[in-house]
């Protein structure tokens, strides 16, 4: 089976934030006494993109960008005019589809309300707010710099500025959170009528402050009860679940994340950014990640030293990597997509597929592969069954 080139996205990493949250394991760096070199960083992002375009020229031919995601850190620390300069530079270098989705992550405590007009004019057509909770006590425990009232005001301000595509990030199973508290967060979010809600469990990640000094979290049974109850409450409010932690109003699923979950391709620029690119010409799938520290990344000035590492996704790794993403989707994926995105025949995963179906984890009808409710609960075990 030949490898087919999937849709192509662009991830842009903005590494600075006001303060590092104790649960965060992302490549983010809190502000110090001197402000970061925001304008210079834009130049380095474009130099990084130029170098990647040279390195992957063959694999990029004829492939427009379907989505862009500004992640961090806190991208909203960058002024709208800097975001506009960057997006203009990207458009000069890469083709876009007409309805390309362009998302900016923002912390409600870092955006001046007047800036939303500027971001919209710059080309940002989807805003993602890291709210996490509407309980001020829980926000303090999470180390967030905003209050519930500030989060609500920021969302309403973005809507007033003309944003019609807004995501809210919410966490559940927070320190000493009750089921009623988790449901109250979901209800508060739904009242604001965002088009999309990301609802995910707080987990203790290695090398974080919470991992070193764990807070009192609900146990697994209570966390599962929160997940099930919140899923139903979101459904009642008109948000359809389409991925383990993603809920959307009709027609508002996130293009960028869907491309990840369908094992699509993405260029990654910025300090610590990761990318994945399929080269249909030689049947290879390539991964590249950039140097993590912003200073080292900028000192590289688009040179080879900006690259933190390169690797090829070998045939033996592709089933696991594909399933790691695709099995998160509630509606499943077309069976033909496995061969198209991995370049491997479906027979390659026949035994593992049969075992997972026999255990009640998956449903396979010849056209669609779908995780059952039981499989969703034990998703890590399901995915692990596709390891080589």
112 pLDDT exceeds 80? no
Q: 46: left (phi > 0), else alpha (psi -120 to 50), else beta?
A: alpha
Instruction: Give me the mean pLDDT over the 223-250 stretch.
Output: 97
pLDDT band with cut points at 50, 70 and 90 for residue 114: low
| Model confidence pLDDT, tens digit, residues 182-220 | 999 999 999 999 999 999 999 999 989 998 999 999 999
- The torsion angles phi and psi of 16, rounded to 5 degrees, stand at -100, 150
Consecutive H or E run containing 186? helix 179-191
Distance CA 373, CA 388 (A): 25
Instruction: Give me the mean pLDDT over the 256-283 stretch.
Output: 97
376 pLDDT exceeds 60? yes
**8 A C-beta contact, residue 218 and residue 173:** yes
**Structural domains of the chain, ranges and CATH numbers in brackets:** 8-259 (3.20.20.70), 332-384 (no CATH)
111 pLDDT exceeds 90? no
**Rg, Å, the chain Cα set:** 21
Q: In the chain, pLDDT over 70 holds for what percent of residues?
A: 99
Which range has the worst mean pLDDT, 24-33, 168-177, 218-227, 237-246? 24-33
Q: What is the pLDDT of residue 366?
A: 83
338 pLDDT exceeds 70? yes
Q: What is the pLDDT of residue 6?
A: 97
Instruction: Give me the mean pLDDT over the 225-245 stretch.
Output: 97
Mean pLDDT of all residues in the chain? Answer: 95
pLDDT band with cut points at 50, 70 and 90 for residue 113: low
| Model confidence pLDDT, tens digit, residues 28-86 | 998 887 889 999 999 999 999 999 999 999 999 999 999 999 999 999 999 999 999 99
**8 A C-beta contact, residue 218 and residue 225:** no
**8 A C-beta contact, residue 38 and residue 78:** yes
Instruction: Give me the mean pLDDT over the 154-171 stretch.
Output: 97
333 pLDDT exceeds 90? yes
286 pLDDT exceeds 60? yes
pTM for this structure?
0.96
Instruction: Give me the mean pLDDT over the 345-370 stretch.
Output: 94
pLDDT band with cut points at 50, 70 and 90 for residue 1: low
pLDDT band with cut points at 50, 70 and 90 for residue 307: very high
25 pLDDT exceeds 90? no
The three state secondary structure string of 227-247 is HHHHHHHHHHCCCEEEECCEE
Distance CA 165, CA 256 (A): 13
């Amino acid at each position: 089976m030949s490898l087919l080139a999937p849709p192509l996205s662009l991830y842009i990493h903005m590494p600075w934030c006001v303060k590092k949250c104790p649960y965060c394991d992302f490549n983010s760096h809190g502000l110090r006494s001197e402000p970061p070199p925001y304008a210079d960083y834009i130049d380095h992002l474009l130099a990084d993109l130029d170098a990647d375009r040279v390195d992957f020229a063959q694999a990029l031919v004829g492939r427009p960008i379907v989505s862009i995601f500004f992640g961090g850190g806190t991208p909203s620390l960058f002024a709208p005019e800097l975001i506009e300069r960057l997006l203009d530079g990207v458009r000069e270098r890469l083709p876009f589809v007409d309805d390309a989705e362009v998302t900016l992550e923002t912390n409600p405590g870092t955006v001046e309300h007047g800036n939303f007009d500027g971001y919209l004019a710059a080309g940002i057509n989807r805003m993602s707010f890291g709210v996490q909770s509407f309980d001020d006590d829980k926000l303090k425990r999470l180390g967030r710099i905003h209050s519930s009232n500030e989060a609500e005001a920021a969302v309403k301000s973005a809507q007033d500025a003309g944003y019609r595509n807004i995501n809210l990030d919410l966490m559940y199973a927070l320190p000493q959170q009750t089921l009623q508290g988790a449901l109250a967060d979901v209800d508060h979010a739904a009242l604001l009528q965002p088009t999309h809600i990301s609802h995910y469990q707080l987990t203790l990640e290695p090398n974080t402050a919470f991992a070193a000094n764990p807070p009192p979290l609900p146990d697994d049974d209570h966390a599962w009860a929160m997940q099930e109850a919140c899923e139903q409450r979101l459904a009642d409010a008109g948000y359809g679940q389409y991925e383990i932690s993603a809920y959307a109003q009709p027609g508002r699923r996130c293009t960028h994340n869907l491309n990840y979950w369908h094992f699509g391709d993405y260029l990654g620029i910025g300090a610590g950014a990761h990318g994945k690119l399929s080269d249909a010409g030689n049947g290879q799938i390539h991964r590249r990640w950039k140097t993590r520290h912003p200073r080292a990344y900028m000192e590289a000035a688009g040179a080879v030293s900006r690259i933190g590492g390169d690797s090829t996704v070998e045939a033996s790794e592709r089933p696991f990597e594909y399933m790691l993403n695709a099995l998160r989707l509630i509606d499943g994926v077309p069976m033909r997509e496995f061969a198209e995105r991995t370049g491997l025949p479906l027979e390659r995963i026949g035994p593992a597929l049969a075992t997972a179906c026999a255990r009640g984890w998956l449903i396979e009808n010849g056209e669609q592969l779908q995780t059952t409710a039981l499989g969703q609960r034990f998703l890590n075990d399901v995915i692990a069954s596709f390891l080589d």
